Structure 1
Amino acid sequence: MIHRIKYELLLSFFLLSTLNAQSIQNIEINGNITFNDSDIKSWIQLGVNSPVYPGILDSIKNRLADNLARRGYFNASFEGTAVLQTADSQKVNLVINVDEGSPTYFQNIFITSDDSTAIDQLQSRFDFLESQVFNEYQLEEIISEILSEYENKGHPFIKISIQSIQFYDDSISGNHLADVKMNIRRGEKRSIDKIEIRGNTSTKDYVIVRELRIIQGEEYSQENINELPKRLNRLRFFQPVNIPQYYINSRNEGILLIEVVEKQTNNFDGIIGYIPGGKSNQKGYVTGLVNVVLRNLFGTGRSAAIRWQKLDRFSQELELKYLEPWL
């Protein structure tokens, strides 16, 4: 009995090792009508020479079912899908049979909102979907557009939730239908009442605020906030700046939080030497090059540069630069 168990374990291990060493030689797709072969291959995330692994058929079927459902085909089946060994057992051929089934159509889209005056306008955004094949990506695109519009008009905390999707069959046509119910809560209109800055150890707060070009009390706009890192990065005082966060404090004020990490903005390089006198009555002299650059002078955003150069005993150069960026 013990020898039999060992034999079965060794056989299982051998088969598993053989399967792991194999790769795909060819992928054959049959039965698909609406979606082409390239769609199917992109969904299964496999190609020629991809390794074969345990459970590969289940992965293929699950990925196909998920992608078809997102595009309105909830009744697909994959009967006869198989992994076939080649003659030398080093490669396999994938045979994928796809029966897409009948699509599901949007029938009704019901909208509720805390803004009763906007319901008709919001509803009209989804009207074109009715009687179209259910498509998750189209639905998400419209939702994303609405979110962006409200976020750019003073509503940072807008929420859109799909409360239910009811699937049923039409008793007359037999078509698969779906009713979608969603709620849109725009939330209170907000403004940027204060700017909070963290992480700046050298750069003054007013330098950062001035570069943001935000007027205290202005209406919240996500589009404008997304542009703020570009303005701060142009200063070259900080590591790449992330998109600022927005929150409401205990006083019900809208706070824009700017977090920065300062980087080295000053440079010093140079070389100094001494040339001794060539004759008994001739004194030696100092020679060299010194270059000092201060890109954020005292944290004010101003910059200054000093360059000194002396190549011989008879001449030297001194160059001074100063930049006032706010004139």
Structure 2
Amino acid sequence: MVLETEAADQPVMRRYRYRRLLPDSLAVLREVRALVLSLQNDAYLTASADTLQWQADTVRVRLYVGEPFRWARLRNGNLGDALLTRAGYRERFFTNKPFVPADWVRLQQRILSEAENQGYPFATVRLDSLQFTDREIAGRVVLDRGPVVYFDSLQLVGATKTRKQFLMRYLQILPNQPYSQQRVDAATRLLKQLPYLRVKAAPEVRFAQSKARVYLLLEDRPANQFDAIVGVLPNPAPGPTQKRVQLTGDVTINLRNLRGAASSWACSGAR
């Protein structure tokens, strides 16, 4: 593969690595596509492969690089300053800086993560009031929150005697509290820390009428402990009423999740 660009674009292209020897035409197309996407991800939004000329076992690719786009300014639209700060937004990061799509995607993901942990799992983020001047982009970041959603209840599916009320407190998934995706995501990890429960699948959430019902697929697993060792030892100095041998033993009992309330009872003894 032979790559042809304008002389002014050659210094830019030296930063990029691509394969020149490829096994077939499909591999060539994939390599060209990956190169164009890399340029666009680095703010060269108008980069394109204008022509591909096939000559026997050689292909000549005419590549247009263009100029990099920059943020003129990205302003706060309707988001609270606290939410933007928690999402990692700083205006200086989006003022007179290269427009890197990956940075904008990461900012959207962080804003949405904050929103869905505050009761807005259906929120969306968009750019508003976009302005293009030469190679600069200006706009406002706007959050469409959607309906506020509250936890409704916790539903247990499977053969378990663990009480629902205990798991609601343990997982902090409480009725009429704002929905939090973070708590749902943490549920599996927390449940796996309980030795008497087996998690059969990831939690399932069903939404209806601004309520979220969380389903947990669980089953009990044996976790009680009963160990006993019994032995017979000679009695070196038996008394008049004692036998020549004596029994000795060590017993350990550990009962967990009594009555499904996660309480435990343990005892041990030796003789």
Is 1:77–1:101's contact at 8 Å kept on the other side of the alignment?
no
Q: CA deviation at 1:257?
A: 0.4
Percent identical among aligned pairs is 19
Deviation digits for residues 81-138 of structure 1, max 9, x if unmatched? xxxx9xxxxxxxxxx9987432234468799xxxxx9279799969653654321112
Q: CA deviation at 1:77?
A: 5.4
CA pair 118-178 structure 1, distance change in 2 beyond 3 A: closer
Q: 2:188 aligned with 1:217, yes or no?
A: no
The one-letter code sitting in structure 1 at the alignment partner of 2:158 is G
Q: 2:36 aligned with 1:65, yes or no?
A: yes
CA pair 97-295 structure 1, distance change in 2 beyond 3 A: farther
The one-letter code sitting in structure 2 at the alignment partner of 1:63 is A
Is 1:32–1:100's contact at 8 Å kept on the other side of the alignment?
no
Task: Decide which of 203, 206, 212 is 1:255's aligned counterpart.
Answer: 212
> Which residue of 2 is the match for residue 91 of structure 1?
none
The one-letter code sitting in structure 2 at the alignment partner of 1:141 is R
> Which residue of 2 is the match for residue 207 of structure 1?
166
Greater strand share, 1 or 2?
Answer: 2
Task: Decide which of 260, 263, 266 is 1:302's aligned counterpart.
Answer: 263
In the alignment, the residues of structure 1 paired with residue 261 and residue 147 of structure 2 have an alpha-carbon distance, to the nearest angstrom, of 37
In the alignment, the residues of structure 2 paired with residue 57 and residue 258 of structure 1 have an alpha-carbon distance, to the nearest angstrom, of 48
CA pair 226-36 structure 1, distance change in 2 beyond 3 A: farther
- TM-score, normalised on structure 1? 0.53
The one-letter code sitting in structure 2 at the alignment partner of 1:210 is R
Alignment of 1:44-59 (within 5 A): 53-54=23-24, 55-59=26-30
CA pair 61-152 structure 1, distance change in 2 beyond 3 A: same
Q: 2:68 aligned with 1:103, yes or no?
A: yes
In the alignment, the residues of structure 1 paired with residue 105 and residue 231 of structure 2 have an alpha-carbon distance, to the nearest angstrom, of 73
Is 1:238–1:260's contact at 8 Å kept on the other side of the alignment?
no
RMSD between superposed Cα atoms in Å: 5.1
Deviation digits for residues 232-282 of structure 1, max 9, x if unmatched? 333233335877454433xx352340414235232557687897x9xxxx8
Q: CA deviation at 1:289?
A: 6.6
The one-letter code sitting in structure 1 at the alignment partner of 2:155 is E
Unaligned runs of 5+ in 2: 1-8, 235-242
Which entry has the higher C-alpha Rg, 1 or 2? 1
Q: CA deviation at 1:34?
A: 4.7
In the alignment, the residues of structure 2 paired with residue 69 and residue 233 of structure 1 have an alpha-carbon distance, to the nearest angstrom, of 43
In the alignment, the residues of structure 1 paired with residue 31 and residue 198 of structure 2 have an alpha-carbon distance, to the nearest angstrom, of 43
Q: CA deviation at 1:69?
A: 1.0
In the alignment, the residues of structure 2 paired with residue 68 and residue 101 of structure 1 have an alpha-carbon distance, to the nearest angstrom, of 10
> Which residue of 2 is the match for residue 155 of structure 1?
120
> Which residue of 2 is the match for residue 75 of structure 1?
47
Unaligned runs of 5+ in 1: 1-30, 86-95, 112-116, 309-316, 319-327
The one-letter code sitting in structure 2 at the alignment partner of 1:149 is E
Is 1:291–1:306's contact at 8 Å kept on the other side of the alignment?
yes
Alignment of 1:121-140 (within 5 A): 129=94, 131-140=96-105
CA pair 298-53 structure 1, distance change in 2 beyond 3 A: farther
> Which residue of 2 is the match for residue 186 of structure 1?
145
In the alignment, the residues of structure 2 paired with residue 307 and residue 253 of structure 1 have an alpha-carbon distance, to the nearest angstrom, of 51
Is 1:194–1:253's contact at 8 Å kept on the other side of the alignment?
no
Q: CA deviation at 1:230?
A: 4.1
Q: Which has the higher contact order (CA 8 A, sep 6+)?
A: 2
The one-letter code sitting in structure 1 at the alignment partner of 2:41 is R
The one-letter code sitting in structure 2 at the alignment partner of 1:103 is P
Number of equivalences: 243
Q: CA deviation at 1:148?
A: 2.4
Q: CA deviation at 1:184?
A: 3.6
